[in-house]
Structure 1
Amino acid sequence: MNVKHLTELLLLAKNQPTQRMVIVNGVDKHSLEAAEHARKHGIVDVLVTGDKKRIETTCQELGIDIGNFEIIDASSEEEAALKAVQLIQSGKADLVMKGLISTDKYMRAILNKQFALVEPGGLLTHVTLIDNKSYHKLLIVTDVAIIPFPNLQQKEVMIRYLVQVARKLGIDQPKVALIAPTEQVIESIPACADAAKLKQMGADGHFPGAFVDGPMALDVAIDQESATIKGMHSETAGDADCLLFPNIDAGNVFYKTNTKLCQAEQAAVVVGAKVPVVLSSRGDSTQIKLNSIALAALMSH
């Protein structure tokens, strides 16, 4: 199944074996409601760390049977995070989700060397699916949240993750656009210089089964008319599946323009750890969290 919209992502995740998900400090309504929807779809079984009484009260307010979740009591955000990563380390959970906890505390637990959720020298990067009605398919985007200024080696790893996510969505030969301000190889612009090197790596077989092209301005990557006018003829131009942004500034602005001005739906997961990591904002809607759970569950297979 080639997933072109987020509604299809849920269907694909439902057809996979059920995964065990732990919510870190899952005391908030959006996280618990999304988890319950995912449980009802058969996507996950749910474990929750956090203040047990508060979790039970929130479940009651939402009309959720507390027996649907395994609750692990914790007296603080830090303890909730610690108990969650211990569950991952012991093999009792297959993926982890951020509840009502600050991102720095959440990620500190994920990166704790004691639990070895990230290999030494490993790279965590944020991958987002964006479903914009103005584009004919899903866009797979990195990085909008974690790596400020990825270097060439990090970009190589990020491309591999983009390709990995695309293949999980049924895209056999993903088209990766290396986003820059222009298609010209201008050495003084790092985005252009790195893109030219990465494109050559693709031509040399470093990304088998994927089309990697750049440098490429955003309009050329996602609009066929712009690509034609500019004389860009490639598998990727005008039909990109994946966008690699040169820095977090560009990626984050693109992400928020889509979600806030275009009302695009999205799902997001952090890859590079032992298990998929759901890193939704505390203010994200229940639907965004449900989408992200489905993506993480798909990635855990």
Structure 2
Amino acid sequence: MKSFSELLDAAKKQPTKRLVVVNGVDVNTLEALNEAVKLGFVKPILTGSQKRIEEKLSSLHIDSGKYEIVNEESSKGATERAVQMVHDGEADLIMKGMVSTDKFMKVLLKKENGLLPSGATLSHISVMHNLCYHKLLIFTDPAVIPYPDLKQKILMTQYLISAAHGLGIEQPKVAVIAPTEQIIISIQSCMDGATIAKMSEHGQIEGGIVDGPMALDVAINKDAAEIKGFNSTVAGDADCLLFPNIDAANVFYKTNSKLCNAEMAGIIAGAKVPAVVSSRGDSEKTKLNSIALASLLS
């Protein structure tokens, strides 16, 4: 896929998914949800204060009759009820509305809720459309895991590959990002990149082509790869980027979204269903893209 319009078109062709939104009372979330309902790829469920939800829908001129509203007066109750609905098979996707991320994640991670498979870890996957790049770019992790160890990076690589498959990329190219393509023992990201690439070469990571360590310019720019003499099928044509830590990934996300006006989407991977955990300050467009992404990956 080369743009979010293609992603939205793909989402419309999927079976309609039941999306439960936790404490869905903020404008951007409700307008994004309403657009997704209009496009036909989600059936909406809202947990939270029924009175507040209905008042907000009315103020936005949205017909509340099209929405299932589950009354819960507290944000904690709204979160727990939404997670329970997913656990009980009453919803296919979950989205955070006007509730703090830490409270949302705390409920999502509770073992008794049964949403985190054994051996899994939660990781944030972002999809970006920057007009300077020739296709959508998938990357991790700008929001959840601060400093992943090698084991977590291996899981994160598989999540990237699975997300790419969900977007129709049969053999995604994954670049493991580091400051340099050289294998420098004193730089952990270089050593991890070399290890993950070798595991992929040996068939221990399946479904894509993984190479690293690789500097960002080499991963996304063919001219840089040629000038540096780095020969790789991934170089200059990466579908996915695995960043070494949250510092690098978060700065990459915000630089592209705020300075380059790149379109974004994001979900939490690793749970039994995709979770949309957009920032409360994210735009309606980002939230709509994220709902579509979750729908495609569920």
TM-score grouping bracket, smaller chain normalisation: over 0.9
| CA deviation map 1:56-77 (0-9, x unaligned) | 0110111100011100111111
The corresponding residue for 2:186 is: 188
Kindly report the root-mean-square deviation, in angstroms, between the aligned alpha carbons of the 2 structures. 0.7
DSSP 3-state at the match of 2:271: coil
The amino acid across from 1:172 in the alignment is E
Correspondence 1:6 to 2:30: no
The corresponding residue for 2:157 is: 159
Correspondence 1:133 to 2:135: no
Partners of 1:61 and 1:167 in 2: CA distance:
40
291, 294, 297: which is aligned to 2:292?
A: 294
What is the TM-score when the length of structure 2 is the normalising length?
0.99
Shift in CA distance, 115/209, structure 1 to aligned 2, threshold 3 Å:
closer
The corresponding residue for 1:230 is: 228
| CA deviation map 1:263-297 (0-9, x unaligned) | 00011000110111001000011111000000001
Q: By how many angstroms is 1:4 displaced?
A: 1.5
The corresponding residue for 2:72 is: 74
The corresponding residue for 2:196 is: 198
DSSP 3-state at the match of 1:97: strand
The corresponding residue for 2:213 is: 215
166, 175, 178: which is aligned to 2:176?
A: 178
The corresponding residue for 2:88 is: 90
Q: By how many angstroms is 1:243 displaced?
A: 0.2
The amino acid across from 1:125 in the alignment is S
DSSP 3-state at the match of 1:145: coil
Percent same amino acid among aligned pairs? 56
The amino acid across from 2:25 in the alignment is V
Deviating beyond 3 angstroms after TM superposition, the runs of 4 or more aligned structure 1 residues are none
Partners of 1:228 and 1:110 in 2: CA distance:
45
Q: By how many angstroms is 1:161 displaced?
A: 0.6
How many residues are treated as equivalent by the alignment? 298
Partners of 2:285 and 2:198 in 1: CA distance:
39
DSSP 3-state at the match of 1:157: helix
Q: By how many angstroms is 1:119 displaced?
A: 1.9
| CA deviation map 1:5-51 (0-9, x unaligned) | 11110000000000000000001111111111101111100000011
The corresponding residue for 2:147 is: 149
Q: By how many angstroms is 1:115 displaced?
A: 0.9
The amino acid across from 1:120 in the alignment is S
The corresponding residue for 1:63 is: 61
33, 36, 44: which is aligned to 1:35?
A: 33
The corresponding residue for 1:260 is: 258
DSSP 3-state at the match of 1:107: helix
The corresponding residue for 2:276 is: 278
Shift in CA distance, 84/209, structure 1 to aligned 2, threshold 3 Å:
closer
| CA deviation map 1:181-223 (0-9, x unaligned) | 0111001100000101111101101223411111100000000
| CA deviation map 1:53-109 (0-9, x unaligned) | 110011011110001110011111100001101111110000000000000111111
| CA deviation map 1:217-273 (0-9, x unaligned) | 000000000000000111100110000000000000000000000000011000110
Partners of 1:150 and 1:58 in 2: CA distance:
40
DSSP 3-state at the match of 1:202: helix
DSSP 3-state at the match of 1:232: coil
The corresponding residue for 1:116 is: 114
Partners of 1:103 and 1:283 in 2: CA distance:
12
Partners of 1:43 and 1:103 in 2: CA distance:
25
47, 50, 60: which is aligned to 1:49?
A: 47
Structure 1: any 5+ residue segments left out of the alignment?
A: none
DSSP 3-state at the match of 1:71: strand
What is the TM-score when the length of structure 1 is the normalising length?
0.98
Partners of 2:197 and 2:28 in 1: CA distance:
41
Partners of 1:209 and 1:146 in 2: CA distance:
24
DSSP 3-state at the match of 1:187: coil
